Amino acid sequence: MRYFSALFLLLVLITPWMARADIYMLKNEADEIVLTNLPSAEDSAGYEVLVSESASQPHASPARNLPPASTTTLPYAASVQQAARVTAIEPALLHAIMHVESGGNRQARSPRGAAGLMQLMPATARRYGVQNRLDAQQNLLGAAHYLQTLKQQFNGNLALMLAAYNAGPQAVIRHGYQVPPYPETQRYVPKVLRHYRLLQQHLAE
Q: Which residues are catalytic?
A: 101
Nearest 10 degrees: Cα torsion 93, 94, 99, 101: 110
Look at residue 35 and give its three-state secondary structure. strand
Beta bridge partners of 115: 109, 120
Amino acid at 169: P
Residue 151 near residue 157, CB atoms below 8 Å: no
Q: What is the DSSP string of 134-147?
A: T-HHHHHHHHHHHH
Beta bridge partners of 25: 35, 48
Other CB atoms within 10 A of residue 203 CB = 20
Report how far residue 108's alpha carbon sits from residue 101's, in angstroms, rounded to the nearest whole number.
9
Report how far residue 142's alpha carbon sits from residue 129's, in angstroms, rounded to the nearest whole number.
7
